[in-house]
Amino acid sequence: MIKAKPKPIEEIIHEIKDCSKVLVVGCNGCVTVCEAGGLKEVELLTSALRIYFMKSNKHMEIDETSLTRQCDKEYLQELEDRIDRYDAVVSLACGAGVQLMAEMYGDKPIFPGVDTCFIGITEEQGVWTERCQACGQCILASTGGICPIARCAKRMLNGPCGGSENGKCELSILVGRDVDCGWHLIYERLKRLGQLQRFGQPSDDKDWTLSRDGGPRIIVKEDSKV
Amino acid sequence: MRLSYPSNIRIVKVPCTGRVAAIHLLKTLEMGADGVFVAGCLEGDCHYQAGNLRARKRVAYVRQILQSIGLEPERVAMYNLSAGMGVRFAEITREMTEKIRQLGPNPIKSAGAMKEAAA
């Protein structure tokens, strides 16, 4: 799922300080799972904002709601008959949700309330890590189910590089925590699977136009269209 | 024991401090409380194993939020004591009351009062 983290409250205050009526909208999808933008976080943010503006003696009405998803028009339409009442909306959805809301409600300022980070998994409650970069052409079949695009800092197709030491990436020093070398993980996994011969043949070139190099992407599934 | 403690303390009972969410603490301040403390069991003594440890983290989180909105983080606190420590409870309530008295009333109340005066 998509993982995000709440934006600093100061940043949100700065965006909405000139408004007098604001709606904070959560998303019950991915950002709820990573505890960044669900109903719980909406309640916390609104309460904090209310306290801030009351303390600053500024009149500010802040309402809260949360939608099933913000990346589908059907759910965003639920705001149709009330959004005009507000000067601006703070959306706690991922970047996709914020943008769809901005598209649907063109004359309304929409401010993001979270920083969207990556597609990842839950390591444990409160800890999420990156696993996928949505490169558009999955190569997990040949890398033992471990993605070198997401888990190698250099996105190497044939690794590891010289910066791998004791299974850790040289980036560890820079970021101040141990980062596993993706290719070391792949090696260990392929060894376990008895597929080390994979290292005897270099990977084919990857078509990066299917990733971000090809610009914003689109998926059309004709049989699903109505 | 006939112990007395400040009469301005309002007790909200919960089955375990693990039930206390960050929003409960923040709401008390939004509703005008001058301060709020969570009285959990002694660490290591939680009947549900980690309820009081979770509460401690939530209190710390709320204090961070208060810091970022410019409210004194000391208005929210966590204390640990057992059900048999009545003397300590009275002591904590006095300590907390004194701390809050030094910080002054919740600024949202005075802001509201100013608004009323202006009206």
Q: List, as one string, the DSSP characters of B81-113.
A: --TT-HHHHHHHHHHHHHHHHHH-S-HHHHHHH
Domain that holds residue B61: 17-118
Peptide bond into A148 cis (omega under 30): no
Token pair for residue A219? 């998926």
B4 located within any domain:
no
Tokens at residue A94, please? 């991922």
Q: Where are the alpha helices (DSSP H) in chain B?
A: 22-30, 51-68, 86-103, 107-118
Q: Is A47 on the interface with B (CB under 8 A)?
A: yes
Contacts of residue A16 in chain B, CB cutoff 8 Å? Answer: none
What does the CA dihedral A61, A65, A71, A72 come to, rounded to 10 degrees? -110
Task: Say whether A47 and B70 touch across the interface (CB within 8 A).
Answer: no
User: Is A140 found in the same domain as A104?
Assistant: no
**Sign of CA pseudo-dihedral A138, A142, A147, A151:** negative
A55 interfaces chain B, CB cutoff of 8 Å: yes
> What pLDDT is stored for residue B113 in this prediction?
53
Q: Is A15 on the interface with B (CB under 8 A)?
A: no
What is the pLDDT confidence band of residue B117, given thresholds at 50, 70 and 90?
low
Q: Among all residues of chain B, which has the CA nearest to that of A52? A: B69
With bands split at pLDDT 50, 70 and 90, how would you rate the model's confidence at B110? Answer: confident
Model pLDDT, residue B112:
60
Bridge-based pairing of strands A114-124 and A127-132 is antiparallel
Indicate whether A144 and A112 sit together in one domain.
Answer: no
The domain in which residue A23 lies consists of 2-117
Q: Are residues A55 and A83 in the same domain?
A: yes
pLDDT above 60 (res B116): no
Tokens of A208: 């990066």
Answer whether residue A203 is part of any domain. yes
* Statement to judge: residues A182 and A108 lie in one domain: no
Per-residue pLDDT of B51-92, as tens digits, reads: 999 999 999 999 999 999 999 999 999 999 999 999 999 999
Q: Give yes or no: residues A146 and A85 share one domain.
A: no
Q: What is the pLDDT of residue A24?
A: 98
Which tens digit of pLDDT belongs to each residue from A207-221? 999 998 999 999 999
Is 80 exceeded by the pLDDT of residue A73? yes
**CA A112 from centroid of its chain's CA atoms:** 12
Instruction: Tell me whether residue B11 is in a domain.
Output: no
Question: Does the residue B32 lie in any domain?
Answer: yes
Residues A109, A188 within the same domain: no
Q: Say whether the ipTM exceeds 0.90.
A: yes
For residues A11 and A77, state if they share a domain: yes
Token output for B57: 């983290």
Beta carbons of B111 and A47 less than 8 Å apart:
no
Is residue A128 a part of any domain in this protein? no
A35 and A73, same domain (yes or no): yes
- The DSSP code for A186 is H
Q: How many domains does chain A have?
A: 2
pLDDT in tens, A156-169: 999 999 999 999 99
Is B71 an interface residue toward A (CB < 8 Å)? yes
Cα A132 to Cα A33: distance, rounded to the nearest angstrom: 17
A chain contacts of residue B27, beta-carbon cutoff 8 Å: 47
Final residue belonging to a domain, choices A63, A89, A117: A117
Q: What does the pLDDT read at residue B119?
A: 53
A102 and A7, same structural domain? yes
- Residues B2-30: what's their mean pLDDT? 96
Query: Residue B70, Cβ neighbours under 10 Å: how many?
Result: 14
In this prediction, residues A116-136 reach a mean pLDDT of 97
Whether chain A has a CB inside 8 Å of the CB on B107: the answer is yes
Q: Which is it for strands A2-6 and A114-124: parallel, antiparallel or unpaired?
A: antiparallel
Work out how many domains chain B is built from and give that number. Answer: 1
Token readout for B97 is 């009351």
A175 falls within a domain: yes
List Cβ neighbours of B41 (8 Å cut-off, separation of 6 or more).
B16, B17, B47, B51, B52, B80, B81, B82, B83
pLDDT at A201: 87
